[in-house]
Amino acid sequence: MHTLADEIIYGTTNNLLQLLAAGADVNQVDEYGLTPLIETVVVDRIEMAKVLLEKGANVNKADLTGRTALHWATDNNNDAFCKLLLKAQANPNAFTMSGEPVLVNPLLRRQEELKSFLIQQGASLSFAQDFINTKLIGHRFELQGDIDIVDSKEQFIEIEFSGFFLEFTLSLVRDSLLRYQNNFSARALRLYFENIRRMTDALGIAAALIKYQQHTRELEKYKSEINQLLNHPLLLIPVCYAGHAVTFIKYQNFLVKCDRGENSHREGSVNVYLVRRPEKLTEAFIAGLIYKRQRREFVHEGINKLLSLETIAQIPLDPQVTGNCSWANVDAAVCAMLFLLLMVDEAYDAEKAMHSAVLFYCQWQEWDKDRAMEECIQSMAYSSKPRQASKAMTLASILFQACQFGIPPDMARAGKILQVLGKPTYLPILKSYSEVFSKNPALERDNAHGKNLLSLLDYFDIDLR
């Protein structure tokens, strides 16, 4: 007997009506954790969605990750579905279990029309911006733990500093590179602008490829579109296995693997290979890497043997310390892509290409840290009291976890943060941190973070009395 999911994916509207008339639950969740309404969005069957809504489908019922049908429609950039769902009272400020609001992806993708439409329908711009910037700060400064941000109702919700979905990571890194290129401080890097454009294109294509993972039951239907994406000269390939995510970069007969997790201690974090059997690196092979479940052994050993990979260089990026693997390996791919472009297209020798790529990467990282922190500070001037408190706690996390006493860039950041947290309104935050150490001499003596914080407070003459 066909289920609602079967009819939505493969059947007809008439058959769907028959199942509902026979008593099928219009809000039942399928084996993938999706409601029938969400399934209609996934496979873009808007007439069936209208039927489900007429029969009482809960427009705001979420999947197992907390994503509503409006999340799915927005992520698919499906204007018609967004309008239908919002007309049916979909919540434009719904957020997932990880705290991600509906408006996030249109912001990161720079989809101006969809962004404006959602805001007109009541989506909170500040909620989405706070989510994006707090996540960016968490990863850039390698912060650990949770933090409260403020939703559209001015209520606190808890999010992790670290966890990211892969497409969100790709979009955030792409957005950061575009901002860097357009920033005054990057004018000295004009020689890299064409390469930045090519890298942001590759990040965008990788995000588009990832979206087809939600159509794994009908990939053949999208084969033409997928192959067109896979024909891009500079190809960033996201690969997931056993709860881990790595990235590959294909350019001509070169392949780079970015894996800054446990395997980096055995093989290196970013490895550059010459493909000795390029005829094996087909569109079907790459599609299999992205859309089929992979085994750890194949990713780390089988690919090397199958493609006859010859190591020609290792880019000296540190292993992942904390945070999300997708972030660490998409981030590293920026350095790896630039290395390939400089070495292949601009005929840099490997050593010069390595030096230039790593220098660019480090400068971009430091700029992005400062940019994210400055946005947090500056936005406090026009934020509500709860939102100001949330931002102050984020700044305290940077100060406590990521500002090392005596390191010039960190001291500069600590000075800016303490200009905010040293005010009477926020002084209790500093007191709460310092009291943990001052009331426990043994902990103060043994804990590097505590001693570092007290040194910073003393240097910037912050009196907690």
Q: Which of 40-49, 75-84, 165-174, 440-449 has the lowest mean pLDDT?
A: 440-449
- Position 43 scores a pLDDT of 87
- Sequence-distant (6+) residues with CB within 8 A of 49 are 37, 40, 41, 57, 69, 81, 84, 85
Q: Which residue has the higher pLDDT, 345 or 214?
A: 345
Q: Which of 89-93, 219-223, 348-352, 460-464 has the lowest mean pLDDT?
A: 219-223
- Sequence-distant (6+) residues with CB within 8 A of 347 are none
Q: Confirm if 70 and 85 have CB atoms less than 8 A apart.
A: yes
- Position 215 scores a pLDDT of 62
- Sequence-distant (6+) residues with CB within 8 A of 373 are 137, 395, 398, 413, 416, 417
Tokens matching residue 263: 């395997």
Is 157 a residue whose pLDDT tops 80? yes
- Position 184 scores a pLDDT of 65
Q: Which of 134-143, 182-191, 254-263, 311-320 has the lowest mean pLDDT?
A: 182-191
Q: Is 343 helix (H, G, I), strand (E, B) or coil?
A: helix
Mean pLDDT of 340-358: 94
pLDDT digits (tens, 9 = 90+) for 127-142: 999 999 999 999 889 8
Angle between helix 408-421 and 448-459 (nearest 10): 70
Under the banding of pLDDT at 50, 70 and 90, the label for residue 442 is: low
The rounded distance, in Å, linking the Cα atoms of 350 and 119 is: 48
Residue 313 CB coordination number (10 Å):
21
Q: Report the length, in residues, of the chain.
A: 465
Q: Confirm if 346 and 366 have CB atoms less than 8 A apart.
A: no
Tokens matching residue 27: 């809000």
Residue identified by tokens 């090519």 is 198
Mean pLDDT of 295-323: 86
Tokens matching residue 194: 């064409």
β-pair partners for 149:
157
Is 438 a residue whose pLDDT tops 60? no
Is 2 a residue whose pLDDT tops 70? no
Is 96 a residue whose pLDDT tops 70? yes
Tokens matching residue 234: 């500079």
- Position 443 scores a pLDDT of 53
Annotation: CATH topology of 4-103? 1.25.40
- Position 435 scores a pLDDT of 76
Q: Confirm if 44 and 81 have CB atoms less than 8 A apart.
A: yes
Q: Where in the chain are all domains bearing CATH 1.25.40.20?
A: 4-103
The rounded distance, in Å, linking the Cα atoms of 264 and 243 is: 16
Is 383 a residue whose pLDDT tops 90? yes
β-pair partners for 275:
309
Under the banding of pLDDT at 50, 70 and 90, the label for residue 341 is: very high
Is 158 a residue whose pLDDT tops 80? yes
Under the banding of pLDDT at 50, 70 and 90, the label for residue 183 is: confident
Q: Whole-number mean pLDDT of the chain?
A: 89
β-pair partners for 310:
274
Mean pLDDT of 35-62: 94
Mean pLDDT of 44-73: 95
DSSP element (H, E) containing 206: helix 193-211
The rounded distance, in Å, linking the Cα atoms of 76 and 1 is: 30
Q: Confirm if 27 and 42 have CB atoms less than 8 A apart.
A: no
- Position 213 scores a pLDDT of 77
